[in-house]
Amino acid sequence: MYVNILLTIGFAATSPTPAPATPDCACATARVDNGWCAACKVGYVAGFRIPSHALFEALDAHGHDINPASIKCESCKKALETDGFCEKCRMGFLRGKAYVSRLNYHLAHGKIRSRADIKCSACKANAAKYGWCDVCKVGMVGHVALADKRHYEPAAREAEILVRAIALAEKCELCAAAMVLDGKCPRCKIEYKDGKAAAKKSP
């Protein structure tokens, strides 16, 4: 078996490597599914265009499955039971999934709506960025509709931070990721809190 593996490796090394196929643009689907288009090198969250893979990955758009037994933080355990958010660990939980970005934790409480299907002119305008409609009693953050202000308002604040992070990504993608996660850029050593660079501590 070992010889067969070596032969396979040797053959692969001497065989011509075919040129990788150019991926087709998947932006139409990615906009709806909060996905990444490999052809255009751009991702989408709630319809916001994100030309930074590091920032897109940091947002954790779809959340991720977890093993409840692996959670040690008591605040996280309570958040898991109540579909809440642990401020200490900066992690939200909903329907058994964990979300490492506050934005997508709140967005997960809403429903995706196509702008073409929105009849209300105010809601349609809000879907271009974010806003609350007092007539429909619904807030739009991109194309996500949120009927509960407890989730709309923080989602709108986080969307504003995302807009700034997208601009910052042109300078440093890791700073942009740290900005949306209240983290620290390992390259620039800048800490972020609530979308702003934290004041440096005196030596």
pLDDT in tens, 113-153: 988 899 999 999 999 999 999 999 999 999 999 999 999 99
**Residue 91 forms part of a structural domain:** yes
Task: Please tell me the predicted confidence (pLDDT) of residue 41.
Answer: 95
**What's the whole-model pTM score?**
0.83
- Does the pLDDT of residue 195 top 80, yes or no? yes
**Residue 126 forms part of a structural domain:** no
In the chain, pLDDT over 70 holds for what percent of residues?
87
**Residue 145 forms part of a structural domain:** no
Distance, in Å, from the CA atom of 95 to the CA atom of 42, rounded to the nearest integer, reads 28
- Does the pLDDT of residue 1 top 80, yes or no? no
Q: Please answer whether residues 39 and 71 qualify as being in contact, where contact means their C-beta atoms are separated by less than 8 angstroms.
A: no
The amino acid at residue 55 is L
Distance, in Å, from the CA atom of 9 to the CA atom of 107, rounded to the nearest integer, reads 47
- Does the pLDDT of residue 202 top 60, yes or no? no
pLDDT in tens, 4-35: 333 333 334 444 555 556 679 999 999 999 99
**Residue 167 forms part of a structural domain:** no
pLDDT in tens, 66-88: 899 999 999 999 999 999 999 99
Q: Number of structural domains, the chain?
A: 1
**Residue 73 forms part of a structural domain:** yes
- Does the pLDDT of residue 200 top 70, yes or no? no
Domain that holds residue 75: 64-99
**Residue 74 forms part of a structural domain:** yes
**Residue 71 forms part of a structural domain:** yes
- CA torsion sign for 129, 185, 59, 138 is negative
pLDDT in tens, 159-189: 999 999 999 999 999 999 999 999 999 999 9
| Chain centre distance of CA 184 | 17
